[in-house]
Structure 1
Amino acid sequence: MIASAPGKIILFGEHAVVYGRHAIVSAINLRCRVKVRRAREFKIKSQIGVTGLDFRVHPYVSFAVKRFGEVFNLSGAQIEIESDIPIGSGLGSSGAVIVATIKALSAEFGIEMSREEIFEMAKQVEIDVQGRASGIDPFISTYGGAWLFPERRELNVPFEFFVINMGRRSTAEMVSKVAVLKKQHPEITEKIFDAIDRISIEASRNMGDKETIKRLISINQSLLRAIGVSTPEIDRVIAELERRGLNAKITGAGGGGCLFGILEGVIPENSIVVRCGEEGVRIEDE
Structure 2
Amino acid sequence: MSSYLEGKNAALLKGIGKSFGTFGELLQGVSSDEQNFLITLPINRYSKATFCSLPDFPELIVSPSYRLKSKKIAQKILEKYELPEGGWIEIDSNIPIGKGLASSSADIVATARAVDCCFQLNLSQSELEDLIREIEPTDGVMYEGIVSYYHREVRLREYLGLVPQLTIVSIDEGGEVSTAEFNRMSLCFELEDRLEYDYLLDRISIAIKKNDLITIGHISTRSAILNQKLLYKSQLNDVLEICDKVRGLGVVITHSGTCSGILLDPINPEYCDQLQKTYYLMNGLQGEVTIFHTNN
CA distance in 1, matches of 2:214, 2:27: 19
Q: Does 1:249 find its partner at 2:252?
A: yes
- How far is the alpha carbon of 1:98 from its aligned partner? 0.5
CA distance in 2, matches of 1:258, 1:222: 11
- Mark the runs of 5 or more structure 1 residues left unpaired by the alignment: 52-56, 127-132, 279-286
Where relative contact order (Cα < 8 A, 6+ residues apart) is larger, the structure is: 1
1:6 aligned residue: 20
Q: Could you give the per-residue CA deviations for residues 113-155 of structure 1, whole angstroms, max 9, x where no partner exists?
A: 22332232123322xxxxxx3x4x2x3x222111234531332
- How far is the alpha carbon of 1:9 from its aligned partner? 3.9
1:72 aligned residue: 81
Q: Which moved more, 1:211-220 or 1:256-265?
A: 256-265
- How far is the alpha carbon of 1:258 from its aligned partner? 4.7
Q: Does 1:210 find its partner at 2:235?
A: no
> TM-score under structure 1 normalisation?
0.75
Q: Does 1:161 find its partner at 2:167?
A: yes
- Mark the runs of 5 or more structure 2 residues left unpaired by the alignment: 1-14, 150-155, 280-288
The SS at the match of 1:261 is strand
What amino acid is aligned across from residue 172 of structure 1 in structure 2?
A
Q: Could you give the per-residue CA deviations for residues 176-225 of structure 1, whole angstroms, max 9, x where no partner exists?
A: 44x1x52xxx5x2x432331231121122223333333322322222111
2:146 aligned residue: 146
CA distance in 1, matches of 2:145, 2:90: 26
Q: Is contact 1:2–1:34 with CA below 8 Å preserved after alignment?
A: yes
Q: Is contact 2:71–2:89 with CA below 8 Å preserved after alignment?
A: no
The SS at the match of 1:98 is helix
The SS at the match of 2:17 is strand
> TM-score under structure 2 normalisation?
0.72
Q: Is the helix fraction higher in 1 or 2?
A: 1
Q: 1:271 to 1:241 in 2, by over 3 A?
A: farther
1:38 aligned residue: 53
- How far is the alpha carbon of 1:34 from its aligned partner? 0.3
CA distance in 2, matches of 1:113, 1:212: 36
The SS at the match of 2:90 is strand
Q: Is the strand fraction higher in 1 or 2?
A: 2
CA distance in 2, matches of 1:23, 1:32: 21
Q: Does 1:193 find its partner at 2:194?
A: yes
CA distance in 2, matches of 1:10, 1:193: 20
What amino acid is aligned across from residue 122 of structure 1 in structure 2?
I
CA distance in 2, matches of 1:154, 1:210: 14
CA distance in 2, matches of 1:156, 1:105: 27
Q: Does 1:262 find its partner at 2:272?
A: no
CA distance in 1, matches of 2:262, 2:100: 11
1:283 aligned residue: none
Q: Percent identity?
A: 21
- How far is the alpha carbon of 1:22 from its aligned partner? 5.1
Q: Of 110, 119, 125, which residue of structure 2 is paired with 1:115?
A: 125
Q: Does 1:173 find its partner at 2:181?
A: yes
Q: 1:173 to 1:236 in 2, by over 3 A?
A: farther
Q: Is contact 2:20–2:43 with CA below 8 Å preserved after alignment?
A: yes
1:237 aligned residue: 239
Q: 1:204 to 1:65 in 2, by over 3 A?
A: same
Aligned residue-pair number: 249
